[in-house]
Amino acid sequence: MAITEKKLEEQNPAQAPTLGMGAGTFGQQAQQRSNIAQGGSGRFTNLQQYIKANEANPNAQLLQREGQRRQEELGTRQQEFTRQAEPIKQQLEGIRSGQQFVQSALQDPTKVVQDPKNIERFAQYRTQGIGDVETPFQQLQTARGQLGAQQEQIASGLETIQRDPNALQNFIQSQRMNPSLATRGENVLDRFLTQSTESGQRAIAGLGTTAEAIRGTQAPSIIGDVESLRSQIQGQPLTAGEVQNVISGTVKPEEEFIRGINNLYVASKVGIGNQISPIKSKITPNRIINPVTGREEINYAFEGLPTFTYQRPQTTTQATENDIKKAEKQFNDYNYYNQAIKDIDSAIARSENVINRLSSQGIDPFDPTNNQLQQAKDSLAKQREIKTNLMLGASNRDYSLVPFYQEYINLANTSKENILQNLDPTRLSRIQALEQLAGSTPFTPLLQTRVS
């Protein structure tokens, strides 16, 4: 534009400069003024020469700067859109975090309830829901539509200047220091030079290229972030009712599990029904000196089972009624021999005491006429024979299930809560933690029932 360097006070609203005058629109170059002076008329006689002389007019630069300004304007609007969308993204991230918290809490309730704040947070979601997704998302969509309209408006504005001569002329006029002082002739000539010079033509074409670039500019990436979050959130619990449904879906299997605790469960958990190596009692011969006769005798010591010290098998299988009956038989058999041997040991001790007492009274232990002493000796011999037979009988029996059956009968008639406390405390802790999260006691009545 050829008048940008002209001082404001030189512009006359009544008489703006005209073509060919030294101080006019196209009188900027010294060579041009020289040519005018040589011609004597003050005007160009060759239009191409005139256009070439005004090749360096600043109008092309104004158009280039306008394209840059419009690109910067789009960037500013995208930044503003991103600032508006960031709280929406954060809101959806908070909802997704809440959903993940609910999921993790129900997967590992024992860990979550260790912190009272977690219980309060879960209770809030259970009673109030996790959040609303669609309202903020629609707000984003509205803002996105506005941004798209602004983007199209910016691109269309450049294309209008490129295609419409009047728009081009009005734009150039608007860039004057005082647009109202320009005459119509000056404005037309400014447009003519912009359209006719090579620099102007390149600048006009550049407006279209810039418009295409603006129109093709991708939307801010935060839109994709929000859409991805929305996709992750959809289908997951949001309302209080949906959270309650998820809780119910977790509680019901545990309720069925507790109802299913029976004697077979107890038997399998304590080890009955597993493959266990046979365990037999031992009889150890001990050589002793009989204090009555003074003779060397062999006494047998019965070594009972190291009861209830075995490590429970890691692999549990479903125990059958036959397995339990087998364990019960072993247990009763073991108790029979164990008690019988204890009883015979007591009888032997009594007989030995009788013999010792009679001997201390001065009665000859070898006197066959002493019937009382002889009866005591005969009884002692018979009792020792009985003990030997008992120990031999016990030593040939399998007592592998005895330790486990003892634990079985100790638990089988107790509450299910006590059974879990002893056999699966981790599961019991999970069940009790679920009650805290559910805000009710669906398991307590079931845990108080006993195994029949």
Per-residue pLDDT tens for 399-431? 888 888 988 999 988 999 999 999 999 999 999
pLDDT of residue 126: 96
Residue 178 has pLDDT above 70, yes or no: yes
- Among 95, 348, 349, smallest CA distance to 242 is for 95
- Cβ-Cβ contacts under 8 Å for 413 (sequence gap 6 or more): 450, 451
Mean pLDDT of 183-195: 85
Cα 430 to Cα 254, 324, 426, 436, 443: the distances in Å are 9, 29, 6, 10, 11
For helices 321-360 and 402-412, angle between their N-to-C axes, nearest 10 degrees: 110
Residue 9 has pLDDT above 60, yes or no: no
Phi, psi at residue 312, to the nearest 5°? -65, 135
Percent of the chain with pLDDT over 90: 49
What's the DSSP call for residue 8? G
pLDDT of residue 43: 53
For 309, other C-beta atoms within 10 Å of its C-beta total 7
Residue 243 has pLDDT above 70, yes or no: yes
Strand residue runs (E) in 200-239: none
The residue type of 379 is S
- Residue predicted with more confidence, 160 or 185: 160
pLDDT of residue 12: 39
In angstroms, rounded to a whole number, what is the distance separating the alpha carbons of residues 17 and 183? 8
For helices 184-196 and 198-215, angle between their N-to-C axes, nearest 10 degrees: 80
Angle 190-196-201 from CA coordinates, rounded to 5°: 100
C-alpha neighbours within 13 Å on the C-beta side of residue 446 = 19
Mean pLDDT of 270-290: 69
pLDDT digits (tens, 9 = 90+) for 20-44: 333 333 333 333 333 333 333 445 5
- Among 189, 156, 154, smallest CA distance to 173 is for 189
Ranking 16-30, 59-73, 388-402 by mean pLDDT, the lowest is 16-30
Region of 232 (left: φ > 0; alpha: ψ -120 to 50; beta: rest) is alpha
Q: Binning pLDDT at 50, 70 and 90, where does residue 48 land? A: confident
The residue type of 79 is Q
The answer to whether the predicted template modeling score (pTM) of the entire model surpasses 0.85 is: no
pLDDT digits (tens, 9 = 90+) for 329-372: 999 998 898 899 899 989 999 988 888 887 777 666 566 666 77
- Among 264, 254, 277, smallest CA distance to 318 is for 264
